[in-house]
Structures are given as C-alpha cells and as structure tokens.
Structure 1
C-alpha cells in the first residue's frame, strides 16, 4: 500500500486533492476512482486512489472530520471543468 505521509485536514484540501487526481496532476496511470477508506490495522481514515482493478495506487491520510464530512465530495468529484 502506498500511503503519502501528508494528511488532508480540511474539506478544501480534499477538494484540491480530488481535482489534482482528476486532472492527472499526480502522474498516476489507470485511475478509475477515489474512495474514502480505513486502514485495516489501525482504523485510521484515508483517501484511496484506485485503478480499474480496484487496487490502491495512492493513499493519503485524512482527519476524522474530513472522513465524516467529505463523503459527498468524494462521491460526486470536484465538479471542476478539466
């Protein structure tokens, strides 16, 4: 699992991260989706960038506030024109 040590602390940071992924700014290939998840070993929440086989390409830690309140943002995407 590739987890970036940076933590997303606000919904604005979450929106910026989603936009970056949607626009291809991280150089990831075969991106098929983004999801909020929790680490199986310690329950810590993170945002997961998944490929078309549902394998984790990149994860970034999120605060509990972002995890609880960012679900609609993750579900609908940034809404910004690419």
Structure 2
C-alpha cells in the first residue's frame, strides 16, 4: 500500500519515518524489516516496510536523492534524537 501523496523528500523525513516504524507509532503488525526498493512498473523509488514473510506492509515514495543517500540510514537505523 503506497499513497501517491506521501513522498519522503529529505533524509530527516526518512529518519522520522523509520523511528515511527521502530517505535510502533504507525500501528503496523509483524514488522520485521525496512528496505529501499524501486517499483518494477515505473522504476520509482520507495521505502518498504516488510512483514515476517517479506511482504509489503506499508510503503512511502522517496525522492531520488533520498533513495541514493538514505541507504545507510535504512541499513543501520535512524539516529536517536537528543
């Protein structure tokens, strides 16, 4: 499920989204991972929240800049807020 109006445009927004997922703030069940991916139909990049079976639970479109520069944030997790 990806909403076309929800686009993550900055690395800060990506970190906030990942923290929400980690803390359960989005009310998602069985979340086991997060990945950056591209849509097979149009090549558009998105961040995918995956369940235990590696199925898409939630997705958010990301800009090309976030896709290219946010890989380490997704891989290692968002920085903890002060």
TM bin (shorter chain): over 0.9
Is 2:18 aligned against 1:3? Answer: no
TM-score (norm 2): 0.94
**Aligned pair count?**
80
SS of 2:58's partner is strand
Q: Which runs of 5+ in 2 are unaligned?
A: none
Secondary structure at the residue paired with 1:58? strand
Cα RMSD for the two superposed structures:
1.1
Q: TM-score, structure 1 length as denominator?
A: 0.94
Q: Which runs of 4+ in 1 moved over 3 A?
A: none
